[in-house]
Amino acid sequence: MHLNYPYLFSNVIYINATDTMYIYKQAGMRNKGGYYPFYLAKNLKEKMKFVVISDTHTRHDLLELPVGDVLLHAGDVTNIGFRTDVIHFLEWFESQPFRYKIFIAGNHDFFFEKHSREEINSLIPPGIIYLNDSGVTIEHIPIWGSPITPWFYHWAFNRHRGEAIQKHWNLIPPNTRILMTHGPAYQILDRTKGGDHTGCKDLLQVVQKINPEVHVFGHIHEAYGQTSIGGTTFINASVLDERYRLKNSPLTFEL
């Protein structure tokens, strides 16, 4: 069965539209009536599927994750950042069958704020990417991650609104295609049960300026969901409800 795939090489045709594809040479390889798969590869032009979760608060074991290429976790892997909880999370995260696994910390993850980069790195398995006001590019997709949230009773990675928090948002590179922050931008999936919009206005300004294709976050559990505004898909991937019960499914997007 032939499907319309673009030619990547002049002598190669792509057939079969599933995750992997059989590739055969046009010349001299069809005389027995079948195709001769000599090469099995992920089409680099295919989109990658991202699975997004956030705010698992030690309850990651309860999740059923859909199949995908990249797993993103937008912070709050623990309740108050016990080392044992961090280690359990990292073991679970590492064991998930994704090509790339990327996470940031959240306001509950004191461990990541209190310990040095060296100590944190010594715990993180090689298959996991941890971002802290830093970025990574996977398959040409620049991703930036930050654990910072607006100040709220001295939780981890809290900064006062205005200049103190802007310093962090100013680090986000303009070419960012996927932005991961623990907290939402102002008025975008940031509404608490009490009706307050607790998102960050300073972050909103930067997001509007940079215009990433996707902004993933969590933090406000009750504002779980997905919406598109001005070319950006916003994903609040909190899987627990405001009483820390598993309620919401992981969300996905392709890029």
> Which residue number is nearest to Zn ion in terms of Cβ?
55
- The stretch among 31-39, 43-51, 54-62, 195-203 that binds Zn ion (CB under 5 A) is 54-62
Closest approach of Zn ion to the CB of residue 125, in Å: 23
Should residue 222 be labelled a site residue for Zn ion when binding is judged by CB under 5 A?
no
- # of chain residues touching Zn ion (CB under 5 A): 2
Should residue 109 be labelled a site residue for Zn ion when binding is judged by CB under 5 A?
no
Name the residue type at position 4.
N
Rounded to 5 degrees, φ, ψ at 235 are -130, 115
Closest approach of Zn ion to the CB of residue 107, in Å: 7
Cα(234)–Cα(231) distance, integer angstroms = 10
Long-range contacts of 40-44 (CB under 8 A, 24+ apart): 43/5, 43/8, 43/14, 44/8, 44/139
Closest approach of Zn ion to the CB of residue 240, in Å: 7
Should residue 85 be labelled a site residue for Zn ion when binding is judged by CB under 5 A?
no
DSSP H or E run through 204: helix 201-210
Cα(164)–Cα(237) distance, integer angstroms = 26
When binding is defined by CB under 5 A, the residue of 69, 76, 190, 222 that contacts Zn ion is: 76
* C-alpha torsion angle, residues 234, 166, 159, 54 (rounded to 10): 20
| Closest CB to Zn ion among residues 55, 69 | 55
Should residue 55 be labelled a site residue for Zn ion when binding is judged by CB under 5 A?
yes
| Interface with Zn ion (CB under 5 A) | 55, 76
